[in-house]
Every structure is written in C-alpha cells, then in structure tokens.
Amino acid sequence: MTALPSGPVPHRDPDDDTLRLECGVCGVWGATADEASSIVALGLHALQHRGQEACGIASVADERFHTERHMGLVGEAFGGSDLSKRMPGTAAVGHTRYSTAGGSFLRNIQPMFADLDSGGIALAHNGNLTNFLQLRNQLVGEGAIFQSTSDSEVILHLIARSRRAKTVDRFIDALSRIEGGYALVAQTRHKMIGARDPLGIRPLVLGRLGEAWVLASETCALDMIGATFERDVENGEVIVVDRQGLRSIKPFPERTARPCLFEYVYFSRPDSVVNGRSVYEVRKAMGRGLAQEHGVEADIVVPVPDSGVPAALGYAQESGLPFEMGIIRSHYLGRTFIQPSQGARQLGVRMKHSPNKSALAGKRVVLIDDSIVRGTTSLKLVRAVRAAGAAEVHLRSASPQILYPDFYGIDMPDRDQLMAANLSLEEMREKLEVDTLGFLSIDGLYRAMGEPGRNNAAPQFTDHYFTGDYPTRLIDREMEEGGRDVVSRQLSLLVSA
C-alpha cells in the first residue's frame, strides 16, 4: 500500500527497527441478517498484527453502502454491540493498516469507496504497486482528481476509467495495468471480488461460514469467526461471489507462484497456514536449521518474544539445550500515541522487553530473533541481557541477512540503513556486542520450507530482501533512479562548463 511522501509522518520511534507489513484484509458475502460487519470486525481483530494504526469497514445493505474508518485498534473502533445497526448488511469488507511515508490521516484509511456509473465499490488492498507513481502521474495528467496519497486509489481510478461494460471486466482491466504484490477484496452492490497478484506474493485465503463466503489475508481470521478454510486464492486468480455462487477467473498468462518468505519468517501469525504450510512448524524448522548451521556451547536458549519463540523452540530441540523465557514482553503498547519522551528513549526497550534475571544470571545464552534489520533493537536487547547477568550472549537470526529493501508491502529501511548490507559479519558482531553471531543460510531457510534448497534458476519464493532477486519490474524505482541520473548528468555538464 504505497503512499506519497506528504502529510504527517507516522508515529514511529526512530530507534525502532521492527519490520511492518502494512495491511490485512477481510471480506464476507452472504452473511445472515445484518451480521456481515460484525463478522468482518472479528476477522480484522485476528489480523491486527498486520496493522495496528487504523482500520475501516464498508457494508452493503439494500444496495446502499455504510462505511466507517477510524484511527486506532479494531476493538476500539468496532467493538460496540450496535455495530450491526450502524453498519447493516449481509456483505462487508474491512481493512487494518499501518501507514508508511504517506502519513497517518483519515483519508488514507481503507476500504476506499467510490461511486461509479455502475454503482458504488469499496476496495481493501494489502501490498504495494511498483508502478504506482507512473500510473498516478498518467491519471493526473488525464484530469483525475485524487483524494488520498495511497496507491489503492489508483486502482479505483483505473476501474472507473475502464471502457469495459461489466464491473468484473473493468476490475480485471485495472489489474492488467498494475505491477507489484497485492491481495485485493472489493465489494459492489451485488458482488464480492477478490484477487491475488500473478506471483502470489501477498497471501489471500477463501473460507466458508455456513452459506457465506469469506476472503481474508490469513487463515487465523477464518478461525476467529468460525469459518472453514476452503483453499488459498491462487496466484493471478480473480474470485467473484454473487447470488449465483462463486466462480474463479484466470485472466492472465499462467506464472509460477513466488509467495513472500517473510510471511513465514515474521508477518503471519504462527497459528496461520499460508500456502499450505503451517507458519508455526516452518519457524520451528528454521530454528532447527539454525542450530545445525550455528551451534555453540551454551547453557540456555532464549527467544526474543513473540516472533522468535517458535524458532527458539526448534533450536532448543535440535541442540538439546534448555528453552527459557529469559525476556518477558509487555503486551500493552498497542496505542500508537503512547511514546516515550526523548529523555526516556534509552529506557524504551524495557517498555516492550524486560530481561528475566532469574533465568539469565550466570548463563551462556543463545538469543534467537526472527531477523536483524538495523540492529538498534538487537543491541538494546543484548545490553539488557548482559545487564541481567548473562555470562555470554550468542545472537542467532532465524532468517538470512537482510541485504535489500522491499517494494511489495513491507515497511523496510533503505539499503544504506540495513546493517547486513553495510557491515561484515565480524563488524556486525562487534557492533552488536555479542560473543558470536550467526544467520540462517538462504538454503537453510528453503529447507525449512520443505525444499531441498534455493533453485537459483527458478526461485520458489520471493526472497529479494536476502538475494536482490526482485520478481517484478520496479518501475517507480527505475523512474526515480533515472531522474537522479539525469540530475547528476546535468550537474556534471554545468561543472565542466
């Protein structure tokens, strides 16, 4: 969900190097009575880990749309018992989000709604378009007026401007013009439409709740509302649900799926099943592989909670070392406006993670994290573990070194801020103040996914953040770099003159 760099900046501690996946989506069609909005709210609650800054729901009743968009958590916005009265209907779509550079204002919150000549449409989008700026500039040049800074609005404009007669065909026509990773759920007066990008980078699942159909980012949302999992939406597939039932459309040339590896490393909930793989079991396998590749003499294995827990369990089982909760995480920091003062920032890590001295004192500790981005949080944790009395700290990352930025929906720093892209392994070890440092290899990660290793000729997953192998053209990035090249050439000509 790309956004233009304008407006208020997100409320984010500059020392916070946590990766964020910007959105979760959920839609239901054919719910009984007026329960659709309540079902979607429950689904969004399960997807809250994918976005905790803002949320929205649009429901359809008697061909009329009812929309609400709010800053804050799902429970705060849609937890009231009167939700079905405020937002009646048997169909609804919802969205929960983080913002990136576009800022935290109401007009960027989804679902986005537009009145077309064929009727209203509400759209929820997870992912990023890599040709967003190119398309937006073209549309503005043709007279389009944008109300937000989000790439999701580009899709609505493309649908509105399509010359196809039917809404589904206009939707597909819009998809044919966009590039990147995306999972989309849209509601019209008479249909629910879901779509997944041609490589299946971002996840989308299909479920059944009685006679109703459900689309969601993860299976944990289906579990929350009591729906049964039917299947994953396939890469490049468009799902249409209406009164005639469900139909599948494959409008684009067939391509081999390359789902995002970071869904397994970090983003998806451990109780979700993504593309047929249990996230929990994959993370445990990552830990086992890490123990095989980077074993060390130690006393205990300690996870960085919560995402490091399954990998630490796998490491402990493979190594035979005891698993201990040496770091305790606080779960009361969800509100984005609660920020430490500048003077208290050095103590900020203790607001989220507190060392358990009784488990750490005098011990040689293997500290397991899911990934290392800039290293700022890792350094604070290492210092806290040492201050609690640990004799040694051996830091292990359950993913390979992050060397390249992402452009498909992950809020990730530029390459000049990625620790592994700028320092050697020994330089990282010294900067992180650990006794030893180890990362899971790329082949080790693939083996955790059930593959023999990475097929370099035809990679099975999207893994560019580790390898630099981007699966699509980065059109906006190429334009940006081309523009810089032009400026550089012009400056050099002026200097030479």
Angstrom distances, CA of residue 168 to CA of 57, 174, 196, 295: 21, 10, 14, 54
18 contacts 377 by C-beta, under 8 angstroms:
yes
Write down the residue that tokens 């070890």 correspond to. Answer: 429
Using alpha carbons, select from 69, 78, 77, 19 the residue that is nearest to residue 49.
19
Host H or E run for residue 430: helix 425-432
Which of the residues 23, 55, 220, 260 is marked catalytic? 23
Angstrom distances, CA of residue 486 to CA of 14, 478, 481, 491: 32, 12, 9, 9
117 contacts 398 by C-beta, under 8 angstroms:
no
End-to-end CA distance of the chain: 44
Q: Is 26 a catalytic residue?
A: no
Q: What are phi and psi of 302, to 5 degrees?
A: -125, 125
- Name the CA radius of gyration of the chain, rounded: 23
C-alpha–C-alpha distance, residues 466 and 408, integer Å? 14
Q: Coil, strand or helix: which one is 488?
A: helix
215 contacts 192 by C-beta, under 8 angstroms:
yes
Sign of CA dihedral 214, 274, 458, 155: positive
Write down the residue that tokens 């990766």 correspond to. Answer: 19
Catalytic residues: 23
